[in-house]
Chain A
Amino acid sequence: MTLAPLLAVVALLYLGLLFAVAWWADRRADQQRSVIANPTVYALSMAVYCTTWTFYGSVGRAAGSGVGFLPIYLGPTLVMALGWFLLLKMIRSAKANRITSIADFIASRYGKSQLLGGLATVIAVVGVVPYISLQLKAVSGSLGILLQQPAALLPRHDAAQPFFADSTFYIALILAAFTVLFGTRHLDATERHEGMVAAVALESVVKLVAFSAAGLFVTYGLYDGFGDIFQRAQAVERLRVLAGSLAAGQGYATWFSLTLLAALAMLFLPRQFQVAVVENVNESHLKRAIWLFPLYLLLINVFVLPITLGGLLRFSGQGVDADTFVLTLPVAAHQDALALLVFIGGLSAATGMVIVETIALSTMVCNDLVMPLLLRWTGLAQGGARDLSGLLLAIRRGAILAILLLGYLYFRLAGEAYALVGIGLISFAAVAQFAPAMIGGLYWRGGTRDGALAGLSAGFLVWGYTLLLPSFAKSGWLPASFLTDGPFALGLLRPQQLFGLTGLDEISHSLFWSLCANLGAYVVVSLRRPPTAVEAGQARLFVDALKLSRPVGVALWRGRADSGELQTLVGRFLGPERARAAFAGYARRHGVADPATLEADADLVHFAESQLAGAIGSASARAVVASVAQEEPLSPAEVMEILDEASQLRRYSRELERKSQQLEAATHQLTAANARLQELDRLKDDFMSSVTHELRTPLTSIRALSEILRDDPDIPPPERQRFHTIIVGETERLTRLVNQTLDLAKIESGNAEWHTTEIDLKQLVAQSAEATGQLFRDKEVALSLELPERVPPLLADRDRLIQVMLNLLSNAAKFVGRGGKVTVRLAETPEGLRVDVADNGKGIAPEEQQLIFERFRQGGGMTDKPAGTGLGLPISRHIIEHFGGRLWVESVPGAGATFSFVLPRAAVGQ
């Protein structure tokens, strides 16, 4: 027995290491350099899901049902796929409401009900105690194996042994002490335990390494790989079925119900809620956990079946408990180091679970069970200026010890009747009772406090009747006839064939009835009355958790309070120092120098309540705050009004944001429009200035010559005649200018009248040439026409096209010079009908070729300037473009210019 001290030393050293890690992580957290603010650590801490139940029990279950152990891990995998919605929502609403446990969550959701929080706590404690006892059993079992090697048998527990001689009792005490050290060194307003999380993450690594080492040893050390083990198993009839078929288990119904059960447990086990929701540092860590945690589950299960088959082959007929194969196989092979590693791995699995679970439970017991009772019975809140933070810690420490002792008690009473997996499933089924109230609470506004109470009670009672009591009966604590004949020999009430339901295993059976009762009661009772004001308000906070940017709880309080009293109150639970710091911080954020002068408005009351909620739970916090603040109750109508107001405010602010964006866009458009208008204004100014100039020029000649004629009677008749001719010519020029300006203005503003008819362009060109014939003859310019036989008809305004032709022809006549030559061509092109008016004058410089189409930009070097107004080409271009065509000029300076236009065949006036 020299081994015992060694084992004790190793185990204690390991626990010491864990504690050192935790202490270091806590220090780092205090220095704002958190080690757990890391997605991998978060994912690993979630692996606290894998307890000794996995470490030792998976093999045990596989020995009974082959791959039937897998649903326990497939369920969580599937749930993690939904984790993006479910867990995220739980994390958000928990953070927004400063929730510290699952009981707190349910209590807070249904109107901060103390009764509901208490009930949830009772369910959690009663449901999880068997699970804790399982850890004790596993640790004591593994110890026993190592101490009694090489017998390698799980020691039969001697019920007659007094507890003080039972090593398990001391294991429970050690674990309790250890948990107290981990979890209740100080009181945290957010109830987060960075050190604990770091230690748990480390333990997750240790147990995976240990289990994999054992698996590798069995698979490749004792046997020749996976193939070899499975081949050997094929030779044994029972093992063949076990290895490769579901038929070894209880079939697909069990498979399904275990998957569902594990999925719910993954969400609602107090320790899972603790690590996944309460201890979550950053919700983005969820991303990695969503795949890394399932991957962990897969890895730790790869070797389960090989170990199982290896153990069954090796220990065939020796009566070795399959639950111990992981340890007994190395022990039997005299692999002492490996056996020690496996023991440490099992210890990791157990301590991780026990620490997190009992801390979570003790928080619940303290906040949702003991505090409310103390507040009610002793009027603690009013009791002077006493510092209650010490009392809170004491309550939690007591709760931890009590829970572990309860676990030991269950171990003594029922521990031997079940294999590890059986006990674990009983706990799973218990916490599954939280599902309707939790999931319903997150997605259904209509759930009420009464509904949740009814559902939880009904489910819990059915669970107790169909699973817990039978576990006692099997251990002989209740008469066996309770199982076989039912209570009072009522066959219909047999707990494992309730109402005659047979064909299901006990877990599926219990799950079916308890969830039916639970969900039915929750829905039916909830539907009996509409939610009250408080319920509706809280429902909004949880159901809309992903939509709310800021809790609206503040607005749901009205009354009078005193800031000094509030600080004193918070100080009593958190310690005066921390309360002072918290209130000073609050004052700073609100721009108030002295916390004492803070206005005790709804905001401050809410702040105080949330500080307290971290320490004593939301329901108790509400009750405590109510003792110093005179709250004026709000009627349901008022609450709805406030909530509507809040959502209306959100709507308004969204609306406002949208409007301001629209406004910005409109401003942009207006700026652009204004720039365009200014440009147009400038153009108009230029135009007016040009028009003025063009009008004044002929007027100048007219006026000057008229005055000369008037003032000087002695002008010789030829001179007189010449002046008169000029005056008439300039008058005509003025008239033309006025007409064309108006014409252009009409065309540009779209007010021109268009008389579209079918026209023959050939005839039109010929007619225009004839009309200008005299002009060409006067200037001795040769005009020749090159027209095709016939062209297709066009739709256009006849007079307007003649106007264009006359403009082009007279321009040509004007610029070509005496003795020149002008050719007019008409041709069909793919683009349409094309007309060229080509001259052999001196041409137009390239830089002028565009300018001449602008208003009042006449070509340079004219000899008889008065003939042109500078508007002919712009008007012509407008006309051609109106009919969908284009007008342009090509010119080689010195070799003449060609003005061309094309009109599309199908041209139609707009």
Chain B
Amino acid sequence: MSKTLLIADDEPNIVISVEYLMKREGFEVLVAGDGEEALAKIRQHRPDIVLLDVMMPKMNGFDVCQEVRADPTLSGVRILMLTAKGRDTEVAKGLALGADVYMTKPFSTRELVEKVRQLVGQ
């Protein structure tokens, strides 16, 4: 059974590249263009893993992460935060809110694939 993966990002071109990568890895890929849509899709589809951008319209990635972690039924969802804000405080905040992995943009595709594999392999 293939694993489900949600890409939450408002940058269409990033979505295109990540979607291509993850489909090649065999994931069933869902896409969300803003935070609210992402949360709705997480609740609906319970993806195995979410690639979550921080700077999104309507609801930012931190809030989405917090909501997910506050919901015990979603405890199985792995969260990988992807953001262009690479400051240490942002990283710490993301991890504190319950993200499993934190990666800064631009990322290495190989590294991203590796992290995603690790997360779903756990």
Asked whether the complex places CB atoms of A and B closer than 8 A, the reply is yes
Q: Which residues of A pack against B, CB within 8 Å? A: 689, 692-694, 696-705, 707-708, 711-712, 719, 722-723, 726, 729-730, 860-861, 864-866
What would be 6 A-B contacts, judged by CB atoms less than 8 Å apart? A689-B85, A689-B87, A697-B11, A700-B105, A708-B20, A729-B13
B16 contacts A726, C-beta separation under 8 Å: yes
Q: Is the interface of A mostly helix, strand, loop or mixed?
A: helix
A701 contacts B57, C-beta separation under 8 Å: no
A693 contacts B108, C-beta separation under 8 Å: no
Q: How far is the CA of A519 from the CA of B83 in the complex (A)?
A: 99
Tell me the minimal C-beta distance from B102 to chain A in angstroms. 14
* Residue B96 at the chain A interface, CB threshold 8 Å: no
B106 contacts A696, C-beta separation under 8 Å: yes
Q: How far is the CA of A34 from the CA of B75 in the complex (A)?
A: 90
Chain A residue nearest to B54 in the complex (CB): A693
**Binary CB contact string for chain B from 4 to 30 against chain A (1 if under 8 A, 0 otherwise):** 000000111110111011001000000
- When distances are taken between beta carbons in the complex, the residues of chain A under 8 Å from B17 are 700-701, 704-705, 708, 723, 726
If A699-B105, A712-B24 touch, whether A704 touches B11 (CB-CB below 8 Å) is: no
B11 contacts A699, C-beta separation under 8 Å: no
* Residue B76 at the chain A interface, CB threshold 8 Å: no
Tell me the minimal C-beta distance from B70 to chain A in angstroms. 26
Q: Please give me the 6 A-B residue pairs with the lowest Cβ-Cβ distance, nearest first.
A: A696-B84, A704-B17, A701-B13, A700-B105, A700-B106, A703-B106
Tell which of B12, B16, B84 touches A865, judged by Cβ atoms closer than 8 Å: B12
If A699-B105, A707-B109 touch, whether A866 touches B13 (CB-CB below 8 Å) is: yes
B108 contacts A707, C-beta separation under 8 Å: yes
A699 contacts B21, C-beta separation under 8 Å: no
Q: How far is the CA of A694 from the CA of B11 in the complex (A)?
A: 11
Tell me the minimal C-beta distance from A595 to chain B in angstroms. 69
- When distances are taken between beta carbons in the complex, the residues of chain B under 8 Å from A708 are 17, 20-21, 109
**Binary CB contact string for chain B from 78 to 110 against chain A (1 if under 8 A, 0 otherwise):** 000000111100000000000000001111111
Q: How far is the CA of A875 from the CA of B57 in the complex (A)?
A: 24
A701 contacts B109, C-beta separation under 8 Å: no
B105 contacts A697, C-beta separation under 8 Å: yes
- When distances are taken between beta carbons in the complex, the residues of chain B under 8 Å from A726 are 13, 16-17
* Residue B55 at the chain A interface, CB threshold 8 Å: yes
- When distances are taken between beta carbons in the complex, the residues of chain A under 8 Å from B16 are 701, 705, 722-723, 726
Q: How far is the CA of A722 from the CA of B17 in the complex (A)?
A: 11
Tell which of B20, B55, B57, B106 touches A699, judged by Cβ atoms closer than 8 Å: B106
- When distances are taken between beta carbons in the complex, the residues of chain B under 8 Å from A861 are 57
If A697-B14, A726-B16, A866-B13 touch, whether A707 touches B85 (CB-CB below 8 Å) is: no
B14 contacts A704, C-beta separation under 8 Å: yes
A693 contacts B12, C-beta separation under 8 Å: no
Chain A residue nearest to B17 in the complex (CB): A704
Q: Which residues of B pack against A, CB within 8 Å? A: 10-14, 16-18, 20-21, 24, 55, 57, 84-87, 104-110
A701 contacts B84, C-beta separation under 8 Å: no
If A693-B55, A712-B24, A865-B11 touch, whether A703 touches B85 (CB-CB below 8 Å) is: no
Q: How far is the CA of A885 from the CA of B122 in the complex (A)?
A: 62
Chain B residue nearest to A712 in the complex (CB): B24
Tell me the minimal C-beta distance from B55 to chain A in angstroms. 7
B109 contacts A711, C-beta separation under 8 Å: yes
- When distances are taken between beta carbons in the complex, the residues of chain B under 8 Å from A693 are 55, 84-85
Tell which of B11, B24, B57 touches A700, judged by Cβ atoms closer than 8 Å: B11
- When distances are taken between beta carbons in the complex, the residues of chain A under 8 Å from B87 are 689
Tell me the minimal C-beta distance from B58 to chain A in angstroms. 8
Q: 8 new A-B pairs (CB below 8 Å) besides A705-B13, A705-B17, A726-B13? A: A696-B105, A703-B107, A703-B108, A703-B109, A707-B108, A712-B24, A723-B17, A861-B57
Q: How far is the CA of A701 from the CA of B104 in the complex (A)?
A: 13
Tell which of A696, A719, A865 touches B10, judged by Cβ atoms closer than 8 Å: A865
Q: How far is the CA of A603 from the CA of B77 in the complex (A)?
A: 89
- When distances are taken between beta carbons in the complex, the residues of chain A under 8 Å from B10 are 865
Chain B residue nearest to A719 in the complex (CB): B20
Q: How far is the CA of A730 from the CA of B16 in the complex (A)?
A: 13
Q: How far is the CA of A719 from the CA of B14 in the complex (A)?
A: 15
- When distances are taken between beta carbons in the complex, the residues of chain B under 8 Å from A698 are 13
Chain A residue nearest to B84 in the complex (CB): A696
A704 contacts B85, C-beta separation under 8 Å: no
Tell me the minimal C-beta distance from A815 to chain B in angstroms. 15
If A712-B24, A726-B16, A865-B11 touch, whether A700 touches B84 (CB-CB below 8 Å) is: yes
Q: How far is the CA of A700 from the CA of B21 in the complex (A)?
A: 13
Chain A residue nearest to B10 in the complex (CB): A865
If A701-B14, A708-B17 touch, whether A692 touches B86 (CB-CB below 8 Å) is: yes
If A689-B85, A712-B24, A860-B57 touch, whether A704 touches B109 (CB-CB below 8 Å) is: yes
Q: How far is the CA of A712 from the CA of B106 in the complex (A)?
A: 19
Tell me the minimal C-beta distance from A682 to chain B in angstroms. 14
Tell me the minimal C-beta distance from A128 to chain B in angstroms. 94
Q: How far is the CA of A723 from the CA of B43 in the complex (A)?
A: 32
Q: How far is the CA of A698 from the CA of B57 in the complex (A)?
A: 17
Tell me the minimal C-beta distance from B45 to chain A in angstroms. 24
- When distances are taken between beta carbons in the complex, the residues of chain B under 8 Å from A730 are 13
Chain A residue nearest to B82 in the complex (CB): A700
Q: How far is the CA of A865 from the CA of B105 in the complex (A)?
A: 18
Q: How far is the CA of A703 from the CA of B82 in the complex (A)?
A: 14
A700 contacts B85, C-beta separation under 8 Å: no
Q: How far is the CA of A729 from the CA of B87 in the complex (A)?
A: 27
Chain A residue nearest to B108 in the complex (CB): A707
- When distances are taken between beta carbons in the complex, the residues of chain A under 8 Å from B12 are 864-866
Q: How far is the CA of A696 from the CA of B85 in the complex (A)?
A: 8
Tell me the minimal C-beta distance from B20 to chain A in angstroms. 6
Q: How far is the CA of A348 from the CA of B51 in the complex (A)?
A: 112
Please indicate which of the listed interface residues A698, A704, A723, A730 has the most CB atoms of chain B within 10 Å of its own CB: A704
Tell me the minimal C-beta distance from A854 to chain B in angstroms. 15
Q: How far is the CA of A699 from the CA of B108 in the complex (A)?
A: 11
Tell me the minimal C-beta distance from B105 to chain A in angstroms. 4
B107 contacts A700, C-beta separation under 8 Å: yes
Tell me the minimal C-beta distance from A857 to chain B in angstroms. 12
Tell which of A692, A697, A704, A722 touches B21, judged by Cβ atoms closer than 8 Å: A704
Chain A residue nearest to B55 in the complex (CB): A693
Q: How far is the CA of A351 from the CA of B106 in the complex (A)?
A: 110
